[in-house]
A and B are shown apart, each in its own frame.
Chain A
Amino acid sequence: MSIINRPGVRESYAFPNWLRTLITVGLRWLPAVLIVVAVVGFWEVYVRIFDVQKWLLPAPSVIAKTIGVDAGLLWGHTLATIEEIVVGFALALVCGFALATAIGLSRTIERALYPFIIASQTIPIIVIAPMLLIWVGYGLAPKVIVVALICFFPIVVNMVDGLKSVDSDVVSLMRTLGANRWAIFLKLQVPTSLPYLFSGLRIAIAFSVIGAVIGEWVGSSEGLGYLMIRSKPQFLTERVFAAIVILSALGVSLFAMVGIVERFALPWWHKEHGSRT
């Protein structure tokens, strides 16, 4: 003890750097962890005290055990859902970026397209999803379309706002430096819109999980949504909850991944504003 605390011996000798980072990160997430522990603890105790039936509300310990026992089954369905999310999200990103660019470049296109973009969000997905099965067939396509339909809206709206939020003084400056319309778009509007785009991506990725599940409910043979709809009538409620836990973890992980990509894509933004995740 006295050796470690001797003056001149820096703390880093006692705590290696990686451990220090781990402690810092751990402390940052401590409140979230505490809430989870409290809720799960209360749930577990409640189920045990009142002896609630497993098919009605399974205890967290039972759900955890199910995840362990059914790991192989759950993993296969998780992969199917991830595929739908990734392809649907990518489609939404490409279409959303293209639409936002077109709208940002032309007021006419904006006036022509924006009403339809908003109207697309009023279509009840639950109604349109079964139609998609008839239109594009069974398989991956209808789920991908449902995910993309839900995701592209926040991407377009945020990016269009970003493209429009340029400082008009910078536009003047660029014009006096000889810039044409295209240069102003590429070198000013697009970079300005990127933080807005990433805000849209965060919302979109959170929605994408529920989009995939809805797509699977309507008609599919794999995926976590399919597993839930199959397990419920069999009173395998613990499996439904296991799927919910995995979906939540998936949503949080995907959200965090968008944050990590943003950190690398917009290092200047993080130096100015600090971390958002």
Chain B
Amino acid sequence: MAISQQHNEAMASQSEQIHETRIIDVVGLGKVFDQNGQPLTVMERVNFHAYEGEFVSIIGPSGCGKSTLLNIIAGLDDQTEGSLKLRGEEASDRLGTVGYMQQKDLLLPWRSVLDNAIFGLELQGVSKREARDRASVLMEQFGLDGFESEYPSALSGGMRQRVAFLRTVLADQQMFLLDEPFGALDALNRSQIHEWLLGLWERLNKTIVMVTHDVDEAIFLSDRVYVMSARPGTMRLVANVDLPRPRYLEMVTSEGFVELKTELLSAIRRESAS
């Protein structure tokens, strides 16, 4: 009994420790843009965090500063107030350490599929030959085998997005920011790529932060979902998604899913109305 107790305590403290590793920790973050001499507050007092290996989504009305938040985390922009810590440290030179994938696939039309995929590795200084070897192994997993030497213009939207994913994955950064990555895909393609992305994420063990306006998508994929307010954006709600993993498409009709969806939708509706 005593041993068991001890064991439980050890387990508890260990899980506490894992839980404490906030790979992204944002406290009181604000951003004010200068718009023709007028200050424009895009977001204020944003508190947000993501644990190591977690999948977190952010939903909110358009123009609420979701993309600004991602830009700041990625290092493309700086906050005007508040603090941002990556792995517990103030990361002023974080640019290049956080993977960032946007809605547009941003493939370079003059590069083949393979050379688009290795673009990140190449920029990190990996030799082209080694980069190509590493990419070739993953082509099949990304449903791109046989298309290595095609130009992006010959590919469908879904395939182009997978090339962009492969480019992000190969760059091998510890956390990925996804800004509405499936926005341009139709519903059928989306649900397929959702399951595929979850499979990938479980293998990779990376932290993913995704911005979306699709509640189903956010719940289906995430461990936690944040709801952001209209501008000036701030976090209004955070909900844990308790659905078991691995997840299946059928779960979207389960009781827990529908309950959470109702809660989130009404929160979003309040934000859009105000």
Q: Which residue numbers of A lie inside 8 Å of B, CB to CB? A: 167, 169-170, 172-179, 183, 187-188, 191, 194, 266, 268-269, 271-272
Q: How far is the CA of A266 from the CA of B106 in the complex (A)?
A: 19
In the assembled complex, which residues on chain B have CB atoms less than 8 Å from the CB atom of A176?
74-76, 95-96, 98-100
Residue of A167, A169, A174, A271 near B123 (CB, 8 A) is A174
Q: How far is the CA of A273 from the CA of B52 in the complex (A)?
A: 45
Interface residues of chain A: helix, strand, loop or mixed (majority): helix
A173 touches B106 (CB 8 A): yes
Residue of B100, B102, B110 near A268 (CB, 8 A) is B110
Q: Nearest residue in B to A191 (C-beta to C-beta)?
A: B110
Q: Give per-residue flags for B34-75: 1 if the beta carbon is below 8 A from chain A beta carbons, else 0.
A: 000000000000000000000000000000000000010011
A268 touches B109 (CB 8 A): yes
A177 touches B110 (CB 8 A): no
In the assembled complex, which residues on chain B have CB atoms less than 8 Å from the CB atom of A268?
109-111, 151, 153
Distance from B140 Cβ to chain A, minimum over Cβ atoms (Å) = 24
B104 touches A169 (CB 8 A): yes
Q: How far is the CA of A176 from the CA of B122 in the complex (A)?
A: 13
B119 touches A177 (CB 8 A): yes
Is B156 part of the contact surface with A, judged by Cβ < 8 Å? no
A169 touches B106 (CB 8 A): yes
Q: Nearest residue in B to A178 (C-beta to C-beta)?
A: B96
Distance from B48 Cβ to chain A, minimum over Cβ atoms (Å) = 19
Is B108 part of the contact surface with A, judged by Cβ < 8 Å? yes
Is B120 part of the contact surface with A, judged by Cβ < 8 Å? yes
A169 touches B102 (CB 8 A): yes
Is B208 part of the contact surface with A, judged by Cβ < 8 Å? no
**B side interface size, CB within 8 A:** 25
Centre residue among A167, A176, A179, A266 by max chain B CB count within 10 A: A176
Is B124 part of the contact surface with A, judged by Cβ < 8 Å? yes
Q: Nearest residue in B to A273 (C-beta to C-beta)?
A: B153
In the assembled complex, which residues on chain B have CB atoms less than 8 Å from the CB atom of A175?
75-76, 95-96
Distance from B165 Cβ to chain A, minimum over Cβ atoms (Å) = 13
B110 touches A266 (CB 8 A): yes
Centre residue among B71, B75, B106, B111 by max chain A CB count within 10 A: B106
B171 touches A177 (CB 8 A): yes
Is B10 part of the contact surface with A, judged by Cβ < 8 Å? no
- Could you list some 25 contacts between A and B, CB below 8 A? A167-B106, A169-B102, A170-B108, A172-B76, A172-B102, A173-B102, A173-B106, A174-B123, A175-B95, A176-B74, A176-B75, A176-B95, A176-B96, A176-B98, A177-B171, A178-B123, A187-B123, A191-B108, A191-B110, A266-B110, A268-B109, A268-B110, A268-B111, A272-B109, A272-B151
A173 touches B100 (CB 8 A): yes
What would 18 more interface pairs be, CB under 8 Å, given A176-B96, A179-B96? A169-B104, A170-B108, A173-B102, A173-B106, A175-B95, A175-B96, A176-B95, A176-B98, A176-B100, A177-B96, A177-B171, A178-B95, A178-B123, A191-B108, A268-B111, A271-B151, A271-B154, A272-B109
Distance from A245 Cβ to chain B, minimum over Cβ atoms (Å) = 39
Q: How far is the CA of A230 from the CA of B151 in the complex (A)?
A: 54
Q: How far is the CA of A179 from the CA of B71 in the complex (A)?
A: 16
A-B complex: 5 closest residue pairs judged by Cβ atoms: A178-B96, A176-B100, A177-B120, A272-B153, A268-B110
